[in-house]
Amino acid sequence: MKINDFSEIEAEFLQRVHTMVWCNVATVDSRGRPRSRILHPIWEGQTGWIGTHRTSFKSSHLADNPYVSLAYITDIMKPVYVDCRAEWVDDQAEKQRIWDLFKNAPPPLGYDQADTFIQPDHPDFGLLKLTPWRIAIVTFPAPSHEEGQKIWRNDS
């Protein structure tokens, strides 16, 4: 089912991704090959945020191709797929705001990133902003492929 307005799926999307928490994130390396890893985004409406190492392979992958694909599959009968454009955010105030968002969210969504990154102005603390162009919320079993999916696209 095609969804025209994100608000039609927002509550279900946030409930699922904030319950599953961890997702597979795929980038494309410099030779055009996919590379996956498990990451922990946090979402504010249709904007996702990932605190991660700025010096990781993701950084070089995103420099060549800024698109990522996320798959949340904790419950195999209710996966969520999110295809996004990823961009590094270097604004210190925004990094602090998202650092605090992670720290103050209840577990398992929230956690203290200081164990890994020390503080939000640490040189290796990178903040990725995810801007989805497609979100698919899937429910199995369904009478048909069409009825088992809610697909929103941001074609702007």
DSSP character string of the chain: -EES-GGGTHHHHHHHHHHH--EEEEEE-TTS-EEEEEE--EEETTEEEEEEETTSHHHHHHHH--EEEEEE-SSTTS-EEEEEEEEEE--HHHHHHHHHHHHHSPTTT---THHHHSSTT-TTEEEEEEEEEEEEEE-SS-SSTTTTEEEEE---
Q: Record the pTM.
A: 0.93
Domains of the chain: 2-153 (2.30.110.10)
pLDDT tens, residue by residue, 61-74:
999 999 999 999 98
pLDDT tens, residue by residue, 34-62:
999 999 999 999 999 999 998 888 888 99
